[in-house]
Structure 1
């Protein structure tokens, strides 16, 4: 039985947990067939942009 496709919000949640490294193996195994690859890429790009923005903000605070 094929896994039900995850929504964009559910994909963002999976990507966010993966960014911090706290993804359970069981959840990862369930998501492998259910996540839309385009959503994963979009979530990764958004997460990376947010991370860079936070780093830039921290640097600006430190040097100000």
Structure 2
């Protein structure tokens, strides 16, 4: 039985960066849903509807 190797601080920080940017995790590729939205949403309700179908927007980041 092999033991799991502990990650270095650099590896941990790198994984945090990857996880923070990986909001397209449910896509096969970055172009997986090309054509999902044929034109810009005209209301917040329409935008929310698209977001319910497919999470395509980056996560909201708090301003410092």
The structure richer in helix per residue is 1
Same fold (TM over 0.5): no
TM (normalized to structure 1)?
0.33
TM (normalized to structure 2)?
0.33
